[in-house]
């Protein structure tokens, strides 16, 4: 049987050849000095650069390193899910590979977990990202918290700690598109958030474009609530009420005050209601489509990711 360890460190990697050497140089001493048994799980999320080769070297040097090589690029969150499905640790830490989350915060997270917190979140102080992203994510954090009924200070910071129990629930829930910190928060009994330092991405580029960020956040909202659907219903109601009042007003104006001709009245009504309706329709179709897409995905039960190979100590090798 595979032996359990105290701490699992889970790191998704997508084209991070420029960061990996530095990451490992910083992470390794931190892990060794934890005074606990540990494993480091790297998930190679379909990198097209030399990341996999570098991870393979780490694995060759240290039996604590395991590398899960995915068959394609499944995205940061699915990569972490692949890691979660394979963790052996009692406490699980997630971390980005780009060194934006300082590894030396790991002992602080574990300290909070020792006190009994089952989810330890972090929020970035002195966040080193472009102003546009900082402002945008502040607004989105607020909105998402309201809609999803959560209280997470900083959704973007992946340096987090989870108790094994939480990870097991997450693994069971088999969600296809999900936001791990939010999901964990839903199941947490005693969550806490601590501040961590945040650094600039030194090497390479953010793997998210503006478009992907919008998608990610829309995903976050629709995964955790039906409010967007209800907003559409509400908007539909408000708009039909408005157009009805408008209609009434024009009618009364024509009847009592004799302003305008019947023809212009009818034209105006058609124009106004047409505009409003097409707006609402488009919005509704988009949001409905999002939910239907989700249903389709979970009905089709497609695996969330595919693993090409796991490199780990004790597994037979055929290289």
Tokens found for residue 9: 């460190």
Least Å distance between CB 260 and Mg ion?
Answer: 60
Q: Work out how close the CB of 81 gets to Mg ion at its nearest, in angstroms, rounded to a whole number.
A: 18
**Cα separation values, 230 from 4, 186, 262, 284, Å:** 46, 21, 37, 10
- 160-163/5-13 β-pairing: unpaired
Q: Which is nearer to ligand UDP, 13 or 31 (CB)?
A: 13
**Nearer Cβ to ligand UDP, position 210 or 292?**
210
**Angle subtended by helix axes 164-173 and 76-84, to nearest 10:** 120
Q: Which does 16 bind (CB under 5 to 8 A by kind): ligand UDP, Mg ion, none?
A: ligand UDP
Q: Which does 106 bind (CB under 5 to 8 A by kind): Mg ion, ligand UDP, none?
A: none
Beta-bridge partners for 195: 123
Closest approach, Cβ 27 to ligand UDP, in A, equals 12
Query: To the nearest 5 percent, what fractions of the chain are helix, strand and coil?
Result: 55, 15, 30
CB of 83 to Mg ion, least distance (A): 17
Nearer to ligand UDP, 46 or 191 (CB): 46
* Cβ contact 65:40 at 8 Å: yes
Binding site for Mg ion (CB under 5 A): 96, 98, 100
Residues engaged in binding ligand UDP (CB under 6 A): 12-14, 16, 45, 73, 75-76, 79, 96-98, 100, 156, 206-208
How far apart are CB 10 and Mg ion at their closest, in Å?
A: 15
Residue 75 interacting entry, from ligand UDP, Mg ion, none, C-beta within 5 to 8 Å by type:
ligand UDP
Q: Is residue 90 classed as helix, strand or coil in its secondary structure?
A: strand
Q: Which is nearer to Mg ion, 86 or 100 (CB)?
A: 100
- Residue 184 · residue 119 · CB < 8 Å: yes
Q: Shortest gap between Cβ of 64 and ligand UDP (angstroms)?
A: 19
Q: For residue 40, what are its two tokens?
A: 């480091």
Are 178 and 92 in contact, with CB atoms under 8 Å apart?
Answer: no
| Vertex 146: Cα angle to 142 and 151 (nearest 5) | 70
39: partner contacted, choices Mg ion, ligand UDP, none (Cβ within 5-8 A by kind)? none
Q: Which is nearer to Mg ion, 17 or 96 (CB)?
A: 96
């Amino acid at each position: 049987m595979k032996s359990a360890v105290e701490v699992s460190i889970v790191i998704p990697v997508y084209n991070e050849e420029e960061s990996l050497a530095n990451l490992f140089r910083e992470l390794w001493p931190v892990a060794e000095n934890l005074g606990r048994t540990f494993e480091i799980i790297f998930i190679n999320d379909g990198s097209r650069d030399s990341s996999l080769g570098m991870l393979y070297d780490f694995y060759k040097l240290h039996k604590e390193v395991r590398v899960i090589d995915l068959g394609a690029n499944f995205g940061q969150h699915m990569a972490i899910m692949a890691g979660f499905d394979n963790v052996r640790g009692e406490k699980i830490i997630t971390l980005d590979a780009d060194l934006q989350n300082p590894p030396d915060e790991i002992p602080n997270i574990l300290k909070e977990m020792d006190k009994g917190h089952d989810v330890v979140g972090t929020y970035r102080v002195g966040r080193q990202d472009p102003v546009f992203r900082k402002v945008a994510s502040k607004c989105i954090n607020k909105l998402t918290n309201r809609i999803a009924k959560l209280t997470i200070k900083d959704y973007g910071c992946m340096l987090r700690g989870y108790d094994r129990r939480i990870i097991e629930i997450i693994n069971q829930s088999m969600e296809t598109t999900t936001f791990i910190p939010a999901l964990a928060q839903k199941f947490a009994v005693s969550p806490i958030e601590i501040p961590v330092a945040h650094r600039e991405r030194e090497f390479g580029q953010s793997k998210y474009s503006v478009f992907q960020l919008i998608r990610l956040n829309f995903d976050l909202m629709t995964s955790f609530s039906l409010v967007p659907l209800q907003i559409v219903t509400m908007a539909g109601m408000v708009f039909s009420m408005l157009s009805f009042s408008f209609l009434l007003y024009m009618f009364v104006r024509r009847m009592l005050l004799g302003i305008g001709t019947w023809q212009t009245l009818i034209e105006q009504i058609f124009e106004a209601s047409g505009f409003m309706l097409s707006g609402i329709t488009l919005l509704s179709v988009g949001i409905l489509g999002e939910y239907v897409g989700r249903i389709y995905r979970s009905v089709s039960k497609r695996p969330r990711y595919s693993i090409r190979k796991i490199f780990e100590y004790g597994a037979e090798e055929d290289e």
